[in-house]
Structure 1
Amino acid sequence: MANDKKQDSRDKNNKKPDLKKPKFNAYWIYGALAFFFLAFYFTGGSNMSQATKTTQAEFEQYLRNGEVSKVEIVNKKVAQVYLTPEALTEEKHLKNKPKGFLAPGPNDPNYQFEFGDLQNFENNFKQIKAENNIDTQIVWQTESNVWGEVLVGLLPFIVIIGIWIFIMRRMSAGGGGGAGGQIFNIGKSKAKLFDEKVDVKTSFKDVAGLEGAKEEVQEIVDFLKFPEKYTALGGKIPKGALLVGPPGTGKTLLARAVAGEAKVPFFSLSGSDFVEMFVGVGASRVRDLFKQAKEKSPSIIFIDEIDAIGRARGKSNMSGSNDERENTLNQLLTEMDGFGTNSNVIVIAATNRADVLDKALMRAGRFDRQIYVDLPDVRERKEIFEVHLRPLKKEEGLDTDFLSKQTPGFSGADIANVCNEAALIAARNGKKAVGKQDFLDAVDRIVGGLEKKNKIITPGEKKAIAFHEAGHATVSWMLEHAAPLVKVTIVPRGQSLGAAWYLPEERLIVRPEQMLDEMCATLGGRAAEKVIFNKISTGALSDLEKVTKQARAMVTIYGLNDKVGNLTYYDSSGQSEYSFGKPYSEKTAELIDKEISNLIETQYQRAIDLLEVNKDKLTELANVLLDKEVIFKDNLEKIFGRRPFDKTEETEEPTTI
């Protein structure tokens, strides 16, 4: 018996609702009323009988034959014809008589027609009547559509009441087109709610690298899961955590992983979602967002690109155009410092520009923790590669250590792009699995751009490009602190006509001699043109831009120049962005310009001297490059011999083609 009851309860629980059953809708009633009014409007509220249609010529023939007893003129445009009792018995009229429901009654007209001109109709009627000596009479009648007039009179009121009902329903329902989609929902929060049971499926196992950042945010997960553990000792749950770091390092992914691990509702939106053309909308959306989050507590609010509303107040306020943004920021500051510590609502924000944020936003009690999400190092890049390689069909024995060493300075997003690009390249070449060379081609594609083998280059230009790239390779081979060469190509890629790939050492601090060697290697291309052709070209634009920035940084930022001294004009707070003046005098500006020029010209002359000594080897390398178009490290070893500065832990050498 108990089993039967359990089975019945299971059947009731498993019984699905009848989805095909139509639901009652109030608009059905409105539609029925509209149809009712229209029906009466078009029928005039009269009976449903219908006289037979005829023409004026046939009517005149009936009139001459004496078959018409009476003619009614309705509204001066329609003639309704009544036949005599004798004519009704004739075969031709019986044949034209409507059958069934529409048959005319004894008091209804037998025929009707519309005439053109009333005066002509009357003249013809009188003439036929006089010629045939008949006594048929004309009766004038005016009919009015009562229901139509009533409908026309009530129509404005019906429209106004209908619009009012529609607006009230939209206001009470909170909007059917999403928050902010209707005029009455413009103050509603535009945050997207990810349900912890359905939408949030990211966990910390999906976040490779970022070990330090994960340790910080894991404690936030503990706060949300076991708040009593901390509050029992008198501790307070932090109000917010700010994720700071370069683009593509995984800040948003880390925030999603927090929501996935904590199993709590996750409100996600961008800082620009608060901004609207209407005054006061941003502050209203902030209030609505925190109201929703408190109702679903414990929960997480994630604001991406918070610098859109969190910039320091009072900056560049020329016309008062950013007052609305400041009001939004003020409301956010109030909400973050206003809700109680036991509300279990944590705000996580992400930005690339922490230096421009308002100091009130950064203080303790609002964003209590600032977590820096840096670019991954070689070990973390290996972990990121392993995550993104899971869905790929890769060749056996693919070395992730080699891939991580070939991608210095790549962010997590860049590595994901490399894996996807490698899969596309392998598929384009008809391969069954993604191999090592596909990843190298993908790195080249991302760093250098798409190959343009069909680009028209004259033999003279190709020779100049070959010597330019060979100059880079030669100088970097001769210098101790220059980055190790990977390969050199004269195949055009993107906007460049040729390129040299290096594998820079990942340093935490950089010394002046290292920076000078890198500048000298960068100027090796223009120096080679000068040594071989005694001419220079515009092909060194990107090289000159790079060394100029590097020299300026040495002089004005890092304090590595003896004459300028241990001074820096770098402003980490970002205040100098809004300043029209320079933080140094005109005399100092002249000294800075002179020292920058001296640094660059000294390294340029140094590159020329190196290439003059190795001119024959430079020429041999350029000829090999002209022949093969792409050369690798071992080609340089054949010409120059083994590099004396090679580290024992050198990375695996790429294979030549």
Structure 2
Amino acid sequence: MANEKKPNNFKISPWLIYVVVIIGFIALNYFGGSGFQDTTKISSAKFNEYLNKGQIEKVIIYNKTEGEAYLTKEALKDKANAKVAKDMMGGVNKGPHYSFDIGNDESFQNKIEKAAQEGKIKDYDFKAKSNWGELLMGILPFVIIIGLWILIMRRMSGGAGGGGGQIFNIGKSRAKLFDEKTEVKTTFKDVAGLEGAKEEIQEIVEFLKTPEKYTILGGKIPKGALLVGPPGTGKTLLAKAVAGEAKVPFFSLSGSDFVEMFVGVGASRVRDLFKQAKDKAPSIIFIDEIDAVGRARGKNNMSGGNDERENTLNQLLTEMDGFGTNTHVIVIAATNRADVLDKALMRAGRFDRQIYVDLPDIRERKEIFEVHLAPLKKVENLDTEFLAKQTPGFSGADIANVCNEAALIAARNNKTAVDKQDFLDAVDRIVGGLEKKNKIVTTEEKHAIAVHEAGHATVSWMLEHAAPLIKVTIVPRGQSLGAAWYLPEERLIVRTEQMLDEMCATMGGRAAEKVVFGKISTGALSDLEKVTRQARAMVTIYGLNDELGNITYYDSTGQSEYSFSKPYSEETALVIDKEISKLIENEYQRAIKILEDNKEKLEQLAAILIEKEVIFKDDLEAIFGARPFNLPPEETELV
């Protein structure tokens, strides 16, 4: 609007104030109330000489100990007084011109009165004088020290902004308040997928809007809801939607906002936060990353810093469910480390609901794509279901990143709209890293990389439970010299044969090097890491090993990370190591046998890979024929 006033962004720096005050003190001391005049100190004998000559026009006596003399105009013209004739600015010095000390005040007074009677002096006066300059200069060091102390404490307590900006407000809560004055545009419509989580959170919002719907039946509002899930699944986004939908005061802060180097500050901030929330009840408090203060007490208490965190947690526990707790304040928290949280925090009455926000399935990924594709300029009839299939295991944040990367890739290629290929390139960029086409690779190394990647592709093609291949490349990406893309089946449970087939396909690269060259290289490091981790999980976590039987050493509480002892004996550790090695070696030999049976096709595939640098599913079908495992029964018989 035309009549709107522009905000005044002018701010005065505290440093500027300090500099002005110091300069003022120095000026007062330097000039001592004498303005810009130049006053020269003379002896009492010299003053008597000027007095007897009749060159003194006026005398002012201060405290009967010090005097100031003003010369006549004729005396200022004398060369002997040339130094005091002009002031510091070059103008006429109006006086006082000389200052002097008085010995005997009574005799001096008689002398002045006699000179006045004889007409040697026109005027004289006695005044009291306080030395403000010296007094202020005595105070100045203390003022500077206090000013610097206040400045340092402000910096340490979080700067000039926010609730903790001043040293006296360090115990105040740093929560951001969203109410009717602060519009939050995010709603549940902006949160794709997460149907179960949205349903439970929406119920809390509805209770705040229409509590009588529930209280008439005797129901009580849940005191807290804990959002748990992997990073990027939309926990914070869900909280933003609550802020936009609830239409009640919403306090948002991070768990680390309670943490401070001063003792007792965390607990003080918790008290202040809940006091503000109770004053504005009904209200919602959202604490993101609550594991910063909610870790289990008494664990790894090696330093005094943990005491302060535990005091903060104790205060939080009391505020959430203690004597005098206000039931109209709801606490929503989010974390991806629920295993380390204190049991007292997780109990009913504090966090009544624990809502698991899982990675989205294929249907939810399609909805998330549609939300993030809305602002993009894309081609018509873009298949979002295809994009959802190409991104298994991606979180909502990953999908948002894919859409953004696709738009950047399209702009880099000077396209007018984002198409399907841009999204595939974006997925490759995120999963595999940036292509490094300028990386120098010798012909021998390129052949070895091609054989390695062709080995992965061949073994995975020949195994029923291995993930189907999408494409293979020998163009270096990120830290890898080659890469293979698979489309894993989204399973809720995994069987032993499925895990073994995946391990065998992973060992296919090293096995191909052994079959073709008769020797192995260091290129299989990531493969070895993956199969070792998978084999260890089979033996020690999932109980899928016949030698050890139905036993697991997995601790879901997370307390084992603080323990210095293993949950099994040394003899069992030897058995575990032996079984892990046996599992990996069996799958390695199995991969070697598959590749020896298909050695000609393996070398043919490697040759095509060297020529094209990238091969797809169609190239494998041309060499090996259709994969029989995913076909209907009648087509499988034909194959």
Q: Is this a same-fold pair by TM over 0.5?
A: yes
Tell me if 1:149 matches 2:149: no
Deviations 1:45-86 (A, max 9, x none): 5699999x9xxxxxxxxxxxxxx97599x999x99875769x
**1:17-416 correspondence to structure 2 within 5 Å:** 70=55, 149-154=131-136, 156=138, 177-338=161-322, 343-416=327-400
Q: Say whether 1:520 aligns with 2:519.
A: no
Query: Given the superposition, is the C-alpha separation of residues 389 and 184 from structure 1 closer, same or farther in structure 2, using an over 3 Å criterion?
Result: same
In the TM superposition, what is the alpha-carbon distance from 1:177 to its structure 2 partner?
Answer: 3.3
| Structure 1 residues 49 and 487: alpha-carbon distance in aligned structure 2, compared to 1, 3 A threshold | closer
Q: Which residue number corresponds to residue 429 of structure 2? A: 445
Q: 1:337 to 1:466 in 2, by over 3 A?
A: same
SS of equivalent residue, structure 2 residue 241: helix
Bigger shift: residues 533-542 or 271-280: 271-280
Q: 1:570: Cα distance to partner?
A: 0.7
CA distance in 2, matches of 1:97, 1:322: 71
1:485-518: CA deviation from partner (whole Å, max 9, x where unpaired): 0000000000000000000000011111111110
Corresponding residue SS for 1:376:
coil
Distance 1:187 1:612, change over 3 A: same
Structure 1 CA distance for aligned equivalents of residues 535 and 435 of structure 2: 31
List per-residue Cα deviations over 1:514-545 (Å, max 9, x = no partner). 11110000000000000000010010000011
8 Å Cα contact 1:180/1:188 also seen in 2: yes
CA distance in 2, matches of 1:50, 1:312: 74
Q: How far apart in 2 are the matches of 1:337 and 1:549?
A: 42
Please report the TM-score for the alignment, with normalisation by the length of structure 2: 0.80
| Aligned pairs for 1:459-498 within 5 A | 459-498=443-482
- Between the two proteins, what is the percent identity of the paired residues? 75
| Structure 1 residues 521-600: aligned runs within 5 Å | 521-600=505-584
Deviates more, 1:415-424 or 1:153-162: 153-162
Is this contact kept in 2: 1:41–1:145, CA < 8 A?
no
2:29/2:137 contact within 8 Å kept: no
Instruction: Provide the rounded CA distance (Å) in 2 between the counterparts of 1:621 and 1:145.
Output: 110
Distance in 2, Cα, partners of 1:529 & 1:17: 74
Q: Summarize the Cα distance change of 1:84–1:522 in structure 2 as closer, same or farther, 3 Å threshold.
A: closer
Structure 2 residues without counterparts, runs of 5 or longer:
11-17, 41-52, 60-64, 100-120, 634-639
Residue 419 (structure 1) aligns with: 403
Contact conserved, 1:451 with 1:491, CA < 8 A, in 2?
A: yes
Change (3 A) 1:79 1:273: same
- Structural RMSD (CA): 4.1
Q: CA deviation at 1:252?
A: 0.6
Query: What amino acid maps onto 1:397 in structure 2?
Result: N
3-state SS of 1:370 partner: strand
Q: Which residue of 1 aligns with 2:109?
A: none
What SS is found at the alignment partner of 2:630? coil
How far 1:577 moved relative to its partner? 1.0
Q: Distance in 2 between matches of 1:70 and 1:633?
A: 115
Instruction: Say if 1:337 and 1:639 are closer, same or farther in 2 by CA, change over 3 A.
Output: same
Equivalent position SS for 2:131: helix
433-442 or 268-277, larger mean C-alpha shift: 268-277
Contact persistence 1:244–1:352 (CA under 8 A):
yes
The 1:295–1:609 alpha-carbon spacing in structure 2 relative to 1, beyond 3 Å, is same
In structure 2, C-alpha distance between the alignment counterparts of 1:608 and 1:293, rounded to whole Å: 66
Query: What are the within-5 Å matches in structure 2 for residues 607-626 of structure 1?
Result: 607-626=591-610
The TM-score with structure 1 as length reference comes to 0.78
Q: 1:36 to 1:302 in 2, by over 3 A?
A: closer
Aligned partner (choices 615, 629, 633) of residue 631 of structure 1: 615
Structure 1 window deviating more from structure 2 (196-205 vs 417-426): it is 196-205
Higher mean C-alpha deviation, range 182-191 or range 351-360: 182-191
Give, as a single letter, the amino acid of the residue that structure 2 aligns with 1:150.
W
1:198, CA displacement in angstroms? 2.5
- Tell me, in whole angstroms, the C-alpha distance in 2 between the residues paired with 1:38 and 1:608: 89
Alpha-carbon distance in structure 2 between the residues aligned to 1:239 and 1:304: 17
Query: Following the alignment from structure 1 to structure 2, what is the Cα–Cα distance between the partners of residues 104 and 351?
Result: 77
Residues in 1 aligned to 2:213 and 2:145: alpha-carbon distance in whole angstroms = 55
Task: Verify the 8 A CA contact 1:196 1:259 in the aligned structure 2.
Answer: no
Distance 1:366 1:48, change over 3 A: closer
> For the residues of structure 1 that align with 2:35 and 2:376, how far apart are their CA atoms?
78
Give per-residue Cα distances to partners, 1:616-654, cap 9 Å, x unaligned: 0000000000000000000001101111012569xxxxx
- Conservation of the 8 A alpha-carbon contact between 2:32 and 2:132: no
**Aligned letter for 1:516?**
L
Decide whether the 8 Å contact of 1:280 with 1:327 is kept in 2.
yes
Q: Which whole-Å deviations, capped at 9, do the CAs of 1:226-262 have from their partners, x for residues lacking one?
A: 1222222222111100000000000011111112111
Q: 1:84 to 1:333 in 2, by over 3 A?
A: closer
Q: Which amino acid aligns with 1:387?
A: V
Give aligned pairs, total: 572
| Aligned residue type for 2:502 | E
Distance of 1:158 and 1:561 partners within structure 2: 79
1:290 deviates by: 0.6
From the superposition, tell whether residues 482 and 82 of structure 1 become closer, same or farther in structure 2 (CA, over 3 Å). same
SS at 1:442 equivalent: helix
Aligned to 1:7: none
Other structure's SS at 1:418 match: helix
Structure-1 separation of matches of 2:422 and 2:588:
37
Question: Aligned with 2:378: secondary structure?
Answer: coil
- When residues 153 and 490 of structure 1 are mapped into structure 2, their CA distance, relative to the original with a 3 A threshold, is same
1:476 deviation in Å?
0.4
For residues 37 and 572 of structure 2, what CA distance do their matches in structure 1 show? 105
- Residue aligned with 2:629, SS: coil
Alignment-mate amino acid for residue 151 of structure 1? G
**Using the alignment, how far apart are the partners of 2:22 and 2:343 within structure 1?**
62
The alpha carbon displacement at 1:321 in A equals: 3.5
For residues 225 and 86 of structure 2, what CA distance do their matches in structure 1 show? 89
CA distance in 1, matches of 2:358, 2:405: 24
